[in-house]
């Protein structure tokens, strides 16, 4: 894993940020503050700034550097950031709001309040589900890592109650942890289940990285082994109405092709900024053959929701638009959502927010 910050840099940042406050909301405004009294200049850097960088203001009142997210400058949601302290990249190591990206960068994050951001926040007032790290066995690839979310109140010994399952897939560069660390999937699930907007469900987040294989059909062909392991281990609903599959970018590619290759298996499909089948490294692989005909068979087998979402600034929007046009020409119904985003986690978190209340209903 590539780490942006060396141990020395982190130590320097810690020395500069002793006593720093985590991001906080004051009178409805997000305020980011930092203690660094012996510093001449601090820039806030990252996606939380519309321009990517801005200087922080030193407050004589409290002796801290601060930046206030003004209404209308940044839409509600979760954003990452770091600090440029006199020319050195740093993070606030005293903050509890730290995550590691798929690219191996360690960054701070903050949640800009407002409509749509509520599911992303930590909320101790609601019941929380449980996430476990485990493995499933693939006859060809051995023990494979997977994270599994079970909802609040889940009792593995109670087999009289069965749960629907969402298979949630990461993108390129990610792994089984990505939807939890960057996607805030567990927070979103807790929020929607507690509010009655989503049904209690099991969510399975596998690692789709198989060394030496990339969009060549291998992960798709192995997927039934994962499903069999989940159905054996957990009290699941083992019919199409109890199964959903979704993913972002490369994970959307996998969700598109797994659901098409296994018609009548998933009643709910979510494609978040997906790459299309023409990006397969081996288009002759079994899961990718006769894609349009297989898609029609998937719909004929029965499908309650085919959810597709894409940002207007996403570089993948042109091939996806062509894919949707072919679906429309074939009278295959889709639920299509657009946003002003690019190919970013800000978009994918919001797409999951839209998708979860629609499934298993």
Task: Report domain extents, the chain.
Answer: 7-114, 130-358
Strand 130-138 relative to strand 142-150, pairing:
antiparallel
**1 vs 61: which has the higher pLDDT:** 61
**Within 13 Å, how many C-alpha atoms sit on residue 103's CB side?**
6
pLDDT of residue 2: 25
Question: What does the alpha-carbon distance between residue 166 and residue 127 come to, in Å, rounded to a whole number?
Answer: 20
Residue 7: is it exposed, middle or buried by C-beta count within 10 angstroms (0-12/13-18/19+)?
Answer: exposed
pLDDT of residue 275: 95
Q: Is the pLDDT of residue 10 over 70?
A: no
The CATH code that applies to domain 7-114 is 2.60.40.10
Q: Is the pLDDT of residue 12 over 60?
A: no
pLDDT of residue 323: 93
Work out the mean pLDDT of the chain and round it to a whole number.
90
CB 82 within 8 A of CB 6: no
Q: Is the pLDDT of residue 87 over 60?
A: yes
Question: What does the alpha-carbon distance between residue 224 and residue 78 come to, in Å, rounded to a whole number?
Answer: 34
- Distances from the Cα of 258 to the Cα of 165, 169, 185, 213, 303, angstroms: 15, 11, 21, 16, 14
What is the DSSP code (8-state) at residue 216?
S
pLDDT band (50, 70, 90) for residue 106: very high
pLDDT digits (tens, 9 = 90+) for 296-343: 999 999 999 999 999 999 999 999 999 999 999 999 999 999 999 999
Q: What is the dihedral angle through the alpha carbons of 315, 321, 323, 329, rounded to the nearest 10 degrees? A: -170
Nearest one of 105, 28, 36 to 65, comparing CA atoms = 36
Same fold, 7-114 and 130-358: no
pLDDT digits (tens, 9 = 90+) for 113-160: 888 899 999 999 999 999 999 999 999 999 999 999 999 999 988 989
pLDDT band (50, 70, 90) for residue 14: very low
pLDDT of residue 274: 97
pLDDT of residue 9: 30
The least confident of 15-29, 77-91, 200-214, 287-301 is 15-29
**340 vs 10: which has the higher pLDDT:** 340
**28 vs 68: which has the higher pLDDT:** 68
Q: Is the pLDDT of residue 295 over 70?
A: yes
pLDDT of residue 216: 96
pLDDT of residue 219: 97
Q: Which CATH class is domain 130-358?
A: alpha beta
pLDDT of residue 151: 98
CB 101 within 8 A of CB 88: no
Q: Is the pLDDT of residue 5 over 70?
A: no
pLDDT digits (tens, 9 = 90+) for 173-230: 999 999 999 999 999 999 999 999 999 999 999 999 999 999 999 999 999 999 999 9
Q: Is the pLDDT of residue 246 over 70?
A: yes
pLDDT of residue 108: 95
Q: Is the pLDDT of residue 15 over 80?
A: no
pLDDT band (50, 70, 90) for residue 22: low
């Amino acid at each position: 894993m590539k780490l942006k910050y060396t141990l020395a840099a982190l130590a320097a940042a810690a020395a500069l940020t002793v006593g720093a406050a985590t991001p906080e909301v004051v009178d409805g405004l997000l305020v980011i503050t930092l203690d660094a009294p012996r510093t001449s200049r601090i820039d806030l850097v990252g996606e939380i700034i519309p321009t990517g960088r801005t200087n922080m203001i030193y407050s004589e009142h409290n002796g801290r550097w601060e930046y206030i997210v003004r209404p209308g400058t940044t839409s509600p949601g979760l954003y990452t950031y770091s600090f440029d302290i006199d020319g050195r990249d740093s993070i606030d190591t005293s903050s509890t709001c730290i995550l590691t990206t798929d690219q191996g960068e360690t960054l701070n994050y903050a949640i800009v309040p407002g409509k749509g951001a509520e599911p992303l926040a930590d909320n101790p007032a609601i019941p929380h589900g449980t996430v476990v790290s485990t493995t499933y066995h693939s006859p060809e690839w051995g023990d494979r890592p997977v994270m599994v979310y079970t909802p609040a109140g889940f009792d593995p010994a109670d087999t009289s109650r069965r749960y629907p399952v969402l298979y949630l897939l990461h993108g390129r560069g990610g792994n089984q942890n990505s939807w939890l660390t960057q996607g805030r999937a567990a927070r979103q699930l807790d929020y929607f289940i507690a509010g009655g907007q989503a049904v209690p469900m099991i969510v399975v987040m596998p690692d789709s990285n198989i060394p030496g294989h990339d969009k060549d059909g291998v992960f798709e062909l192995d997927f039934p082994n994962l499903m069999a392991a989940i159905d054996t281990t957990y009290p699941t609903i083992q019919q199409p109405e109890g199964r959903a599959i979704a993913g972002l970018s490369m994970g959307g590619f996998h969700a598109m092709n797994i659901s098409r290759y296994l018609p009548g298996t998933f009643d709910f499909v979510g494609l978040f900024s997906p790459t299309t089948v023409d990006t397969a490294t081996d288009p002759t692989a079994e899961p990718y053959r006769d894609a349009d005909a297989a898609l029609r068979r998937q719909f004929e087998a029965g499908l309650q929701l085919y959810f597709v979402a894409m940002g207007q600034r996403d570089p993948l929007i042109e091939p996806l638009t062509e894919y949707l046009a072919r679906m429309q020409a074939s009278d295959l119904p889709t639920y299509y959502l657009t946003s002003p985003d690019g190919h970013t986690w800000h978009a994918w978190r919001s797409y999951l927010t839209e998708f979860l209340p629609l499934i298993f209903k």
